[in-house]
Amino acid sequence: MASLTTLVPLLLSLSLSPLLVTVNGQAQGLSYCGDAPYFPSEYTCYDGAKLCPISYGIPTLPCAADGACYHAGMYECGRNGLQLLPEASAPFTLTVQGALPRLQNQAVRACGNYLAFGAGARECTFCVNAPPQYDCKTYANHTVFLGNGEMAADVPGSQYWFVSPTDGVLKFTEGGKANNASEISLAGKGVTVYQNGFFTYDGSPFWVGCLRTLPGGTVGTTRSYRIYAPTPENLAKTNCDQIKLVASAVASRKEGTYLYQ
Ligand SMILES: *[C@@H]1O[C@H](CO)[C@@H](O)[C@H](O)[C@H]1NC(C)=O
Ligand SMILES: *[C@@H]1O[C@H](CO)[C@@H](O)[C@H](O)[C@H]1NC(C)=O
């Protein structure tokens, strides 16, 4: 769970919307919210009166009860102000959101023990010779996660997603006989998933997406990004962008597959 001490600065920074007036006098794209000028690419005007910033490509919303702007991926606004969303209880897919268009609405896909996104990120689902109780035709073959650290996989022993303790990369276990007990013990550790909301690590509602390069290849040619926890080392990396991961509930684990390869 995110602690209150990490939430308070977030709320404060979101309420600083009048800062935008200092943008250097460019008339182009400038709109007015009441008397306040703003760039629609950076802010949203609510009821002609309240500006809320767009953060990671996601518009934040005003909460009448306490005057703050908030991310609907982490909070709900009630009569008494903001409250954290409940944690995810249903299986979910993950979608990347970020400030740049190439980072927006990208599905997170499982392949080769890594979770990745981008045009070159493959989804490697597998169902051949499954035990008779598993009918391959019944799977939708998407990359689906469960809040407890499991992948929506039916292979005996299942499969699990985890943050690698060595470099913070987001991975999944191999499954079947190759499932690795020390990796399974890390399943879901450090991550809080909000229902139809953010997939967060250690109280931070963002991750680091790093363009992957094949050995001997040119940076960026794979157009596939791996996903890293926002540790100081990962935040300092080049060829990386800060992203948010948004969970969307799906009907059942059958939206997943028998085995992720
Ligand atoms: C999912 O993959 C299995 C095995 O390849 C296949 O039989 C099934 O039709 C696929 N499901 C969909 C919705 O394509
Ligand atoms: C299990 O996973 C850990 C961490 O990824 C790795 O260091 C170790 O070699 C793996 N063990 C086996 C038996 O594959």
Residues facing 243 on adjacent strands: 207
Residue 198 CA to residue 85 CA, distance in Å, equals 9
DSSP state, 51?
E
Ligand nearest to the CA of 174: 2
Q: Tell me the CA–centroid distance for residue 162 and ligand 2, in Å.
A: 13
Chain-centroid distance of CA 111 in Å reads: 17
How many residues can be counted in the chain?
A: 261
pTM listed for this prediction: 0.86
**Cβ atoms of residues 136 and 250 within 8 Å:** no
Q: Tell me the CA–centroid distance for residue 176 and ligand 2, in Å.
A: 15
Would you give the end-to-end CA distance of the chain in angstroms? 31
Q: Tell me the CA–centroid distance for residue 174 and ligand 2, in Å.
A: 11
Q: Which of 55, 41, 1 is nearest to 244 (CA)?
A: 55
Indicate which residue's Cα is closest to atom 4 of ligand 2.
Answer: 183
Q: Tell me the CA–centroid distance for residue 180 and ligand 2, in Å.
A: 6
pLDDT tens for each residue of 163-180: 999 999 999 999 988 999
Query: pLDDT value at position 19?
Result: 41
Instruction: Check whether 242 has a pLDDT greater than 60.
Output: yes
pLDDT tens for each residue of 180-232: 999 999 999 999 999 999 999 999 999 999 998 766 666 656 689 999 999 99
Residue 55 CA to residue 97 CA, distance in Å, equals 9
Ligand nearest to the CA of 113: 2
Ligand nearest to the CA of 254: 1
Q: Tell me the CA–centroid distance for residue 157 and ligand 2, in Å.
A: 17
Q: Is 259 in the pocket of ligand 1 (CB under 6 A)?
A: no
Q: Tell me the CA–centroid distance for residue 144 and ligand 2, in Å.
A: 24
**Cβ atoms of residues 59 and 51 within 8 Å:** no
Chain-centroid distance of CA 93 in Å reads: 10
Mutate to test the pocket of ligand 2, among 180, 183, 184, 185 (most ligand atoms within 8 A of CB): 180
Instruction: Check whether 131 has a pLDDT greater than 70.
Output: yes
Indicate which residue's Cα is closest to atom 9 of ligand 2.
Answer: 180
Residue 110 CA to residue 130 CA, distance in Å, equals 19
pLDDT tens for each residue of 70-108: 999 999 999 999 999 999 999 999 999 999 998 999 999
Amino acid at 220: G
Q: Which of 31, 51, 47 is nearest to 39 (CA)?
A: 31
Residue 191 CA to residue 160 CA, distance in Å, equals 13
H-type alpha helices, 163-255:
181-184, 232-235
Measured CA to CA in angstroms, residue 107 lies from 53, 78, 142, 157, 248 at distances of: 24, 30, 10, 26, 11
Indicate which residue's Cα is closest to atom 3 of ligand 1.
Answer: 136
Residue 236 CA to residue 188 CA, distance in Å, equals 24
